[in-house]
Amino acid sequence: MNSTNTNSVKVTIHPSQFPDVIQRQLIEALRNSYVPPKFLYDSVYQTQKWLNVHQSHSPSRIDSDVSLVYDSVFDTVFSQAKYSDVVLIGLGCGGGQKDARCLSKLKLATRKLYYVPCDVSQSMTLVARSEVGKKLNYNNIYPLVCDLSESNDLDQLLDDLLPFSHKRIFTFFGMIPNLEPELILPKLFRITRDDDDLFFSVNLVPDGSYLTGVENILPQYDNEETRDWLLSFLVGIGIPKNAGALVFGIESSGDLLRVVADFRFNHSQVIQIDNKIITFESGQSLRIFYSYRHTKETLNKYLDKHGLKIVCSEVSQSGEEGVFRVKRDV
């Protein structure tokens, strides 16, 4: 492991996010015509672009009912609970707003509370640290930069960071749609223990026609802020906006539907990363973004397949966002 201090903040960096590793991953992915999700959040600039998208279009920020759904689940779980030492581990912590809501409720049930904001973006972990620091002593916050999809030792790393007896509560808010379910759900099963709690949120398709429901929410993705976020990544690696067009659509993947965004080149384009040449041909598509939309039925199906069960849940009045408490099904 490697640690850095930024303005006296100790940040632990997992090898999955070492510069040489992520550079190699990016080059390989681009040569295979796709962009792994983590690169859309990796830099300070991309972090700010994503926060703009989140502020403008996330249901939890623009729909007060969605915020109440989070509070309802937290109240249900924590209102009668009494813990000693608790560590809240925010996997894919983003800006930390949802973790901060959770911590506000959890503080009432806990003697001592610690927080680990974990994200592929160091900038995100520091934003989350700042947000949660309004409610929790900074000395009890341990930022961790890690790619969950590329790490098999996160459980041990967390024990090394906090080597004392404690209850572990994981959050995984808004992350499941943007990762392959057959990859991330087994990871969550392996990371969690029988006595851990896992809280996550999922963008859902309201009851009714699955395809029609996804079509109706497409504007949540195809908008000015999201286009700016995605195109800014391309510009950052040397692909000008006028090299092609960003096209949103809906596609099936097994029994699931997902929103996708491809950059379709209108002429050949050559870029160079770490002295490696990457060529895109006219007419070629680069997959830059995808987001699965679940129904309550598909979510239950995939969780059950990977040894996880829902023990508490709330869904917003719109039917577009659900918050779930999950445990290992043993």
Q: Is 295 exposed, middle or buried (0-12, 13-18, 19+ CB in 10 A)?
A: buried
Distances (CA, A) of 277 to 40, 237, 272: 21, 12, 5
- Per-residue pLDDT at 62 exceeds 70: no
Q: Determine the pLDDT at residue 147.
A: 95
Q: Of the ranges 57-71, 204-218, 270-284, which is most confident?
A: 270-284
How confident is residue 29, by pLDDT bands cut at 50, 70 and 90?
A: very high
Structure confidence by residue, pLDDT tens digits, 267-323: 999 999 999 999 999 999 999 999 999 999 999 999 999 999 999 999 999 888 999
Q: Determine the pLDDT at residue 278.
A: 97
Q: What percent of the chain has pLDDT above 90?
A: 76
Lowest mean pLDDT: which of 63-77, 248-262, 278-292? 63-77
Residue 320, phi-psi category: left (phi > 0), alpha (psi -120 to 50), beta (remainder): alpha
Q: Is 274 exposed, middle or buried (0-12, 13-18, 19+ CB in 10 A)?
A: exposed
- Higher-confidence position of 47 and 240: 240
Q: Determine the pLDDT at residue 3.
A: 47
- Per-residue pLDDT at 133 exceeds 90: yes
Q: Average model confidence (pLDDT) for the chain?
A: 92
- pTM of the full structure: 0.91
Specify the residue for token string 């689940």.
Answer: 73
Give me the mean pLDDT over the 178-184 stretch.
Answer: 93
How confident is residue 65, by pLDDT bands cut at 50, 70 and 90?
A: confident
- Higher-confidence position of 107 and 266: 266
Residue-range domains of the chain with CATH: 2-204+295-328 (3.40.50.150), 210-293 (no CATH)
Lowest mean pLDDT: which of 6-10, 146-150, 297-301? 6-10
- Per-residue pLDDT at 4 exceeds 60: no
Q: Determine the pLDDT at residue 207.
A: 75
Give me the mean pLDDT over the 232-249 stretch.
Answer: 97
- Per-residue pLDDT at 190 exceeds 80: yes
- Per-residue pLDDT at 120 exceeds 90: yes
Q: Determine the pLDDT at residue 231.
A: 96
How confident is residue 212, by pLDDT bands cut at 50, 70 and 90?
A: very high
Structure confidence by residue, pLDDT tens digits, 154-170: 989 999 999 888 999 99
Give me the mean pLDDT over the 226-253 stretch.
Answer: 96
Q: Determine the pLDDT at residue 292.
A: 95
Q: Determine the pLDDT at residue 157.
A: 92
